[in-house]
């Protein structure tokens, strides 16, 4: 889902090991090599009273990714804007709301991940150091993560 105002795409929304949302047109983001040229940031919203945790994986295009994550120009300001825009969308604009408009949320973000399309499984996101990865099983609507990753592991 595209958030035009924030100029990002929500690629995946997860709660625990369950995938609640996969971008309906996710496949258009991948080039011939099955790799997305931009970068993915994981946003986590944790309810202050419920402790319910919702993770949202958002996509930044290649040009903005370079400016934000390599040059570090406006990084904190931009990520805070995206956190607030995604929260507003999930609490006020989605039906049914995925975040409660009445709940306070603690937020954090993890960046950056490269996103790959896996033919048989779904999607794979790996951080730049190769020390953390998330794999989305499209057919089972599940996500799994690992602290370390090597290409032959999955």
Convert the pLDDT of each residue in 28-75 to its tens digit: 888 778 999 999 999 999 999 999 999 999 999 999 999 999 999 999
User: What value does the mean pLDDT take over residues 126-137?
Assistant: 91
110 part of a folded domain: yes
For the chain, percent of residues with pLDDT exceeding 90: 81
Report whether pLDDT(148) > 80: no
Which backbone phi and psi does 2 adopt, to 5 degrees? -90, 130
Report whether pLDDT(149) > 60: no
Report whether pLDDT(151) > 60: no
153 part of a folded domain: no
151 part of a folded domain: no
Residue 154: per-residue pLDDT: 45
Residue 106: per-residue pLDDT: 97
Number of domains composing the chain: 1
Q: Mind spelling out the 3-state secondary structure of the chain? A: CEECCCCEEEEEEEECCEEEEECCCHHHHCCCCCECCCEEEEEEEEECCCCCEEEEEEEECHHHHHHHHHCCCCHHHHHHHHHHHHHHHHHHHCCCCCCCCCCCEEEEEEEEEEEEEECCCEEEEEECCCCCEEEEECCCCEEEEECCCCCCCC
User: What value does the mean pLDDT take over residues 6-25?
Assistant: 95
152 part of a folded domain: no
154 part of a folded domain: no
Residue 28: per-residue pLDDT: 85
Which structural domain range is residue 91 located in?
2-146
């Amino acid at each position: 889902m595209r958030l035009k105002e924030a100029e990002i795409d929500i690629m995946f929304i997860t709660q625990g090991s369950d995938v609640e949302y996969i971008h309906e047109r996710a496949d258009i983001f991948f080039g011939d090599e099955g790799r997305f040229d931009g970068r993915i940031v994981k946003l986590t919203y944790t309810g202050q009273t419920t402790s319910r945790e919702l993770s949202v994986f958002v996509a930044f295009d290649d040009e903005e990714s370079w400016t934000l994550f390599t040059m570090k120009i406006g990084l904190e300001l931009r990520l805070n804007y995206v956190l607030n825009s995604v929260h507003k969308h999930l609490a006020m604009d989605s039906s049914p709301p995925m975040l409660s408009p009445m709940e306070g949320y603690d937020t954090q973000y993890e960046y950056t991940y490269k996103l790959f399309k896996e033919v048989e499984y779904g999607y794979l996101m790996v951080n730049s150091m190769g020390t953390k990865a998330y794999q989305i099983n499209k057919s089972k609507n599940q996500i799994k993560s690992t602290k370390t990753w090597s290409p032959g592991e999955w």
